[in-house]
Amino acid sequence: MKQVLIERPRSGWRLKHKRTNKPRASDWNGEDLDIERQAPRLRQSKHFDDLLSPLRKYLRAQVGRPWDNVYSEMCATIDRRTVSGRHLFEHVEWEVLIDAVLDEQGKPCYPAHRHWRQGRAVGLFVHPRTRLLCYQAGDSARERKRKRESKHAEFVANHRDLGQGAFLLKRRGIWHWVLGARVDDHLQPNQRKRTQRVDFMIGSSAYMLLKARQLNTKELRQLELSNDPCDAHTD
């Protein structure tokens, strides 16, 4: 498997770059370097060469077995001390979710530190309770589209943007006036300041709550809004 996965010839084209446009120190104006003026050797001309289908086929065939046994068999066959061996196990760790956690319903989910993936575990994962290698198929393209449209429709129905960080939000069937401060979107959660907590989301933007109050009957009538019946949002 190691030879098939890693020692596959690279596809693409061989391009000899000239280094005539390498930026000079005397030309630097204090601004960040333009990507067009960087050395052309940084531009890639070869495609991704790793053939992952044999590895995925092997891992899918091990579904239902204890993960520790599968991992031990791979370690006995492949030397992790070599560059190619480490490279193969990096792909294994990418293909298999090893650190899955259980949610309140007892379903395997992605851990909190994997901020780029959330929700129920999809694909190959190790069950946190039984330690068996499991597989869960993801939603089809049509189902993902339906969920996106449904989520967007719900967002539009329960959200009004008043500007200057003020919103009307419907939470648990009740409309609220909310004032928030936008949190830096480009920062990861562990890079944000301690005071920059995330209290609510507006689309893909994170906000910290500053003020909030429930709309009264007069305001609801003026805005032509209505709360859900009491039995629809009681705990």
Contact 122, 136 (CB under 8 A): yes
CA distance 56 to 73: 16
Q: By C-alpha distance, which of 18, 11, 6 is closest to 92? A: 6
Tell me what the mean pLDDT of segment 153-163 comes to. Answer: 89
* Average pLDDT score over residue span 87-114: 88
pLDDT grade, residue 133 (50/70/90)?
very high
- pLDDT of 187 > 70? The answer is no
Sign of the torsion angle spanned by Cα atoms 7, 12, 18, 24: negative
User: What is the C-alpha to C-alpha distance for residues 19 and 66, in angstroms, rounded to an integer?
Assistant: 54
Quick: pLDDT tens for 52-77.
888 899 999 999 999 999 999 999 98
Strand positions, DSSP E, the chain: 96-97, 101-102, 108-109, 123-126, 133-136, 159-163, 166-171, 174-182, 200-202, 205-214
CA distance 160 to 168: 5
The structure tokens 């189902």 sit at 143
Model pLDDT, residue 42 = 47
Q: Is the pLDDT of residue 10 over 60?
A: no
Q: How confident is the model at residue 118 (pLDDT cuts 50, 70, 90)?
A: confident
99 in Cβ contact with 108 (< 8 Å): no
CA atoms within 13 A on the CB side of 156: 6
- pLDDT tens figures, 11-64: 555 555 555 555 566 666 655 555 455 554 445 555 555 678 888 999 999 999
Find the mean pLDDT for residues 145-158: 87
Query: What pLDDT sits at residue 6?
Result: 54
Name the DSSP class of 46: B
Q: Which two tokens stand for residue 222?
A: 């003026």
Average pLDDT value for residue range 215-221? 93
The tokens describing 235, both together, are 């705990």
Rounded to an integer, the average pLDDT of 186-194 is 52
For residue 72, what pLDDT is reported?
94
**Rounded CA separation 222/235 (Å):** 28
Q: For helices 83-95 and 53-61, what crossing angle results, to 10°?
A: 60
Locate 221 and state its tokens: 């009538």
Phi, psi of 19 (to 5 degrees): -110, 30
Provide the phi-psi class of 39: left if phi over 0, else alpha when psi is between -120 and 50, else beta.
Answer: beta
Overall pTM surpassing 0.85 (yes/no): no
The lowest-confidence range among 34-38, 83-87, 216-220 is 34-38
Q: How many residues does the chain have?
A: 235
CA distance 64 to 52: 21
Mean pLDDT in the chain?
Answer: 78
Q: What is the pLDDT of residue 215?
A: 94
Cβ neighbours around 173 below 10 Å, total: 15
- Is the pLDDT reported for residue 109 higher than 80? yes
Going by C-alpha positions, the residue among 65, 87, 51 that lies closest to residue 135 is 65
